[in-house]
Amino acid sequence: MEKISNISLIRERVKDLKRDGKTIGFVPTMGYLHEGHLSLVDEAKKSCDVVIMSIFVNPTQFGPNEDYDSYPRDIERDEALAKSRGTDIVFYPDVKEMYPSETLTWVEVEKITGVLCGAKREGHFRGVTTVVTKLFNIVQPDIAIFGQKDAQQAAVIHKMVEDLNMNVRIKLAPIVREADGLAMSSRNVRLSTADRKNAVILSQSLFAIKEGINEGKELSKLMEKAKQVILGTPGARLDYLEARSYPDLETVHACKDRCLIAIAVYFGNVRLIDNILIENPS
């Protein structure tokens, strides 16, 4: 596995690969890899000759009071994991490489970034869409893989690619969960032992809502019940629990053909998100 930190070097590498007729699968990450990220590598390998993973904790998607500084980082560990799963190239730029001067150009998707995480984290999606555009311009992938855990991010990236006619196919990979149901996240390591145990409330709430919907129960009642359970969970502070259409992210009052139940909960200063996409409820 190669590790490249320089934009002109990776461009050269990509040019050579494309000249040799190789297809490129791209897995953008912020590192501190877990099984969720590695499943994206598996997905990329299914349809591409070469897998490039970027590891870059992108400062422009963190608000001033968010966890940019404390976001977990361990490049040696990440390299070993990426290599073990068959990643061909890790692109690992530093902040100066990606943002050598003040950024005056931003890529912004409207409307669907104003709800859920976008409503709570001002400027977050503008940072994501800008860095993903930069990464796409650098890596020129045929396919890019994103995780369903960041369902809103996936919808936003899809819309950006469609609206701007970007020459890349976006694929989604399912959420990977711990044995107790907690969605894998780089932030999980920052939970205290007690909070880690209680964090199972996110997935439990989502599964209970799905079950209730499939039993024909009223969505508003299921949501209210879940909110009460979260309120009673030690250490948990609910940021949002919402039902939305997908990928348009409009508010829904009943779950018809396809709906997204999305949740964000703080434990201390660790913000966890999770979601469940319910298709054709019975």
Q: Which is nearer to ligand PAF, 33 or 213 (CB)?
A: 33
Pair of tokens at residue 238: 């609910």
Q: Is residue 34 a contact partner of residue 184, using CB atoms and an 8 Å limit? A: yes
**Residue numbers of the site for ligand PAF (CB under 6 A)?**
28-30, 58, 61, 128, 131-132, 150, 153
Closest approach of ligand PAF to the CB of residue 216, in Å: 35
Strands (E), the chain: 2-4, 24-29, 50-55, 89-91, 143-147, 169-173, 236-245, 258-267, 270-279
Backbone torsions φ then ψ of 108, nearest 5 degrees: -135, 125
Q: Which is nearer to ligand PAF, 133 or 233 (CB)?
A: 133
Closest approach of ligand PAF to the CB of residue 58, in Å: 4
Closest approach of ligand PAF to the CB of residue 220, in Å: 31
**Candidate list 34, 37, 158, 253, residue with the active-site label:** 37
Q: Which is nearer to ligand PAF, 61 or 233 (CB)?
A: 61
Q: Which residues pair with 258 in a beta bridge?
A: 279
Strands (E), 92-141: none
Q: Which is nearer to ligand PAF, 4 or 132 (CB)?
A: 132
Residue 137, Cβ density class (10 Å: 0-12 exposed, 13-18 middle, ≥19 buried): exposed
> What's 106's DSSP letter?
-
Q: What is the Cα–Cα distance from 270 to 277, expressed in whole angstroms?
A: 24
Residue 34 designated active-site: no
Q: Is residue 139 a contact partner of residue 54, using CB atoms and an 8 Å limit? A: yes
Closest approach of ligand PAF to the CB of residue 178, in Å: 18
Closest approach of ligand PAF to the CB of residue 75, in Å: 15
DSSP 3-state assignment of 96? helix
Q: What is the Cα–Cα distance from 161 to 176, expressed in whole angstroms?
A: 25
Q: Which is nearer to ligand PAF, 29 or 205 (CB)?
A: 29
Q: Which residues are catalytic?
A: 37
